[in-house]
Structure 1
Amino acid sequence: MSRPKLTELVLQRLEYYEDRTVFGMSDFADITDSKTLHIILKRLTEEGKVAKVLRGIYMKPRYSKLLGENIPPRITDIAEALAQSYGWNIIPTGATALNMLGLSTQVPANYEFLSDGPYKTYEYDGTAIVFKHTNKNTELTQVSRKSALIIQALKTIGKEEIDNRVIRKIADSLSKEEKETMLQETKHCTSWVYEKIKMICEEAING
């Protein structure tokens, strides 16, 4: 198939993406080989139809008339695109998990993720994206994303620092279905973490 036709196939797929979507070359691997795809995306970048984020990672631009430039990608979206490209399972941890749950308003200096892939650090616009390898795959693949995020937040705060405000804040973010799911799938967590989860779910019930 000619390159113009391949380019058209790439553009057709991009039409289904929302503006500011971050994606990897692997998302188009079924269309053509990586060398040809690299050439196509380079040309589309020059034309302003996509924006390069990192090596092999791109974004469908969203232009801001107010700012007079493209809105930058979300760091968490970059992390997800990297993970998908390399076949990693990831979950935010540390200050990143707290920020995503609204338990901290401070923007993390570094965005940290637990991963079943290798230890890796990337940098985008002065912000480090850190993937920390873990052998505890149960925290990544055997619980829902919301449950995994809450587990990491609780571990980050620490057993003795979790107060009623934290319990209530997390409880308010849970739907009834999420509460029921979390109670079932976290039974084999560290004992103190599961005790806190039961308190959160009771708050969700009684609140």
Structure 2
Amino acid sequence: MLINKEEKKVVDILRNCIEKANTGTLFFNNSFPEYDDEYVGKILSDFVRQGLLLRLSRGIYLKTKETKFGVVYPTTEDIARAIAERDNAEILPTGSTALNMLGLSEQVTMTPVFLTSGSARKIKCGNKTITFKRGVPKNFALKGKVTRLLVQAMKAIGERNYNGEWESAINVILSKYPEDDTMSEDLKVMPAWIRRKIINILNNKNHEQLAES
């Protein structure tokens, strides 16, 4: 591929950037906007063959580090955020990932699923597979960052499994991370059963505050 000094110069520039980057940094074909995406992709593919990068998926490359335990990967959340930023898309963790991020579960799934406003896709990352599912706009209408995550976590719990223990745990989250400025609007776009549960928690919290005052 290298046929002249100018091309070698570009390759050296990209190699230098990658070598200086932290382990776990993701690179894409458009990570170097001063050069053509397709041209960059060919260079990055060469770096994969040379062992400098690992290809996670088409056009997605990872600077890795080999240890005695194997390849060191960034967290699935970090990978998902980097891809979303590259695509100028929004993402939402779902299921056990949302529960884990809120401290409602210690389970770490090997197949995390994220709703995305971008393209649906699956990305293999070591022994994990990250799935991006196209989400409807209503999923991203919630303004509160914690509330967004909480709604996805409650969907994972399910109305039938929701009980007093879950309510107490969610009450702690709402007390620790109040989003009073956005909650009124967010309640309007929540699923009906989740809205009822959140309102019940907020009402009980208000009664407790009045009793203490």
TM-score, with length taken from structure 2 = 0.72
Which residue does the alignment assign to 1:3?
Answer: 7
CA deviation vs aligned residue, 1:59-104 (integer Å, no higher than 9, x gap): 232443x53x431232333333443444432211122222322322
Alignment-mate amino acid for residue 90 of structure 2: N
The structure having more radius of gyration, on CA atoms, is 2
Q: List aligned pairs for 1:1-207, cutoff 5 A.
A: 2-10=6-14, 13-14=17-18, 17-28=21-32, 30-64=33-67, 66-67=68-69, 69-135=70-136, 137-140=137-140, 142-173=142-173, 178-181=178-181, 183-188=183-188, 189-198=190-199, 199=201
Q: Runs of 5+ in structure 2 lacking a partner? A: none
TM-score, with length taken from structure 1 = 0.73
Distance 2:12 2:203 in 1: 50
Report if aligned partners of 2:56, 2:124 keep a CA contact under 8 Å in 1: no
Distance 1:196 1:4 in 2: 62
User: Could you list the runs of 4 or more consecutive aligned residues of structure 1 that deviate by over 6 angstroms after TM superposition?
Assistant: none
Report if aligned partners of 1:110, 1:129 keep a CA contact under 8 Å in 2: yes
Root-mean-square deviation (CA, aligned residues, Å) is 3.5
Alignment-mate amino acid for residue 21 of structure 1: T
Report if aligned partners of 1:101, 1:170 keep a CA contact under 8 Å in 2: no
Report if aligned partners of 2:30, 2:40 keep a CA contact under 8 Å in 1: no
Distance 1:100 1:112 in 2: 13
Q: How many matched pairs?
A: 202
Percent identity, aligned pairs only, is: 27
